[in-house]
Amino acid sequence: MNAANTGGRTRLVVWLVLACGVVAALHLGKAAIATPMLRADLHLSLDEAGWLTGLFAGLGLLCGAPAGAVAAAFGGRNTLLLGLGVMALAGAGGAIMPSYPGLLVSRFLEGLGFMLVIVAGPALLERVTTGAERDVAFARWSCFMPCGMALAMLVGPLFQTWQSFWWASSALALASIGAVACRVPPGTTPKTSTWKTMQVGIRQLLCSRGAMLLALGFALYSLVFFALFSFLPVLLMERMDVSYRSAGVLSALASAINASGNLAAGCLIARGVGRVRLVVIASAAMGFAGMGIFLGGLPAFATFLLCLFFSAIGGLVPATLLASAPLVARQATLVPIAVGLMMQGSNLGQMLGSVAVGSVTAAFGWGMASAVVAMATVATGAVAFLLRPALRDSAQCA
């Protein structure tokens, strides 16, 4: 009975941590869907509105590993509570001060809170799970971004003003703080006497071939994913001749279905399917699907189905890479730093994917975007093969 109760509490913590990640991703995605309201109310240009979302990518690129170091030093639970608290206060501040400079400051603080949450989540999962259960938990965690972004796209249009959306997101963050405080048990934080030991571990991790390859793999995956999803609403409007609102709903569906690949990865890894094989197969499938989407020639509905397949099969990649972080880190306290490095790679890929596809599409049309996708997916497969020795050696040492 005690074992059953312990298992139930563990599952509750895993789902609660995932919910906190979804709330964080909602804060990221709310600016994009609220852009029309923000522009109308604050008279913003597209460039100014773009900064409200771009701040998150810039912070992720610069602060991933430092945020992981904060989680390693203060513990996953404390860092999660801090991140949620910062987002709640910053969101409320943005609603109270409805001006562009004030909104920029609040988005900057929300971005810092977001980074703390997404490195604290894996640190908590590493503490409360082991073995195959840990792989499944990390795969579930990788669902937070597509689910949170899709939620933002779906609920954003229901609000009459962007301020009400900001207040609602802050309320969700506050509710998450209460749930974490009540349901997630406190853990131990590193003692002062072990700080030097952790510093040595951090240096070893930053010089680790496996950690760098995981970050590079995440960068390449994000490049491919956002090569399509940064322009998916526009592509759907041109290819399917749908309205702006309908394109938003279809894009939300395509984003949310990415979670199916995330969950499938956890089940497949738990059943013994090789991590390298999963990444290679998924990246190759993304490459072929992306080429079919960008080259055109298919009926509109078939193109959208290919977008769904692209998203679903692509979900195998981030879940597999995230589930490999504990193997590369080797020490539980270093897992959030390894995840932070991957988030830096993710944000780099997000920026490069948007820029690369935007540039080649403007110059040569949608068809040339297929070349970007093809090269990036081939590179992702190559990184997976290079990662095999590091994962094998780590598994033997575990």
Under the banding of pLDDT at 50, 70 and 90, the label for residue 23 is very high
The stretch 104-109 carries a mean pLDDT of: 91
Contacts of residue 74, defined as CB under 8 A and 6 or more positions apart, other chains included, come to 82, 189
The answer to whether residue 4 scores a pLDDT higher than 60 is: no
Residue where the block lists tokens 């001749």:
241
The stretch 219-248 carries a mean pLDDT of: 79
Q: What is the pLDDT of residues 235-250, one digit of tens each?
A: 787 777 777 677 778 8
Half-sphere exposure in the Cβ direction for 161 (13 Å, CA): 9
Q: What is the pLDDT of residues 163-218, one digit of tens each?
A: 999 999 999 999 999 999 998 888 755 554 455 656 666 677 777 788 889 999 99
The answer to whether residue 221 scores a pLDDT higher than 60 is: yes
How far apart are alpha carbons 377 and 288 in whole angstroms? 9
**Mean pLDDT of all residues in the chain?**
84
- Residue 2 pLDDT: 55
- Residue 397 pLDDT: 47
The CATH 1.20.1250.20 portion of the chain extends over 1-188, 190-398
Q: How far apart are the first and last CA of the chain?
A: 29
Percent residues over pLDDT 70 in the chain:
91
The answer to whether residue 47 scores a pLDDT higher than 90 is: no
Q: What is the pLDDT of residues 276-320, one digit of tens each?
A: 999 999 999 999 999 998 888 888 888 899 999 999 999 999 999
Taking the domain 190-398, which CATH number applies?
Answer: 1.20.1250.20
Residue 245 or 160, more confident: 160
How far apart are alpha carbons 261 and 341 in whole angstroms? 22
Taking the domain 1-188, which CATH number applies?
Answer: 1.20.1250.20
Report how far apart, in Å, the C-alpha atoms of 27 and of each of 30, 150, 165, 353 are.
5, 12, 10, 22
φ, ψ of residue 129 in degrees (nearest 5): -125, 160
Which tokens go with 74?
Answer: 């203060």
Angle at 89 between CA 85 and CA 91, to 5 degrees: 115
The answer to whether residue 128 scores a pLDDT higher than 60 is: yes
Whether this model's pTM surpasses 0.85: no
Report how far apart, in Å, the C-alpha atoms of 330 and of each of 109, 128, 129, 211 are.
31, 16, 15, 11
Q: What is the 3-state secondary structure (H, E, C) of the chain?
A: CHHHHHHHHHHHHHHHHHHHHHHHHHHHHHHHHCHHHHHHHHCCCHHHHHHHHHHHHHHHHHHHHHHHHHHHHHCHHHHHHHHHHHHHHHHHHHHHCCCHHHHHHHHHHHHHHHHHHHHHHHHHHHHHCCHHHHHHHHHHHCCHHHHHHHHHHHHHHHCCCHHHHHHHHHHHHHHHHHHHHHHCCCCCCCCHHHHHHHHHHHHHHHCCHHHHHHHHHHHHHHHHHHHHHCCHHHHHHHHHCCCHHHHHHHHHHHHHCHHHHHHHHHHHHHCCCCHHHHHHHHHHHHHHHHHHHHHCCCCHHHHHHHHHHHHHHHCHHHHHHHHCHHHHHCCHHHHHHHHHHHHHHHHHHHHHHHHHHHHHHHHHCHHHHHHHHHHHHHHHHHHHHHHHHHHHHHHHHC
Contacts of residue 143, defined as CB under 8 A and 6 or more positions apart, other chains included, come to 18, 22, 258, 259, 262, 263, 315, 319
- Residue 393 pLDDT: 58
Single-letter amino acid, residue 280: V
Which tokens go with 110?
Answer: 């929300």
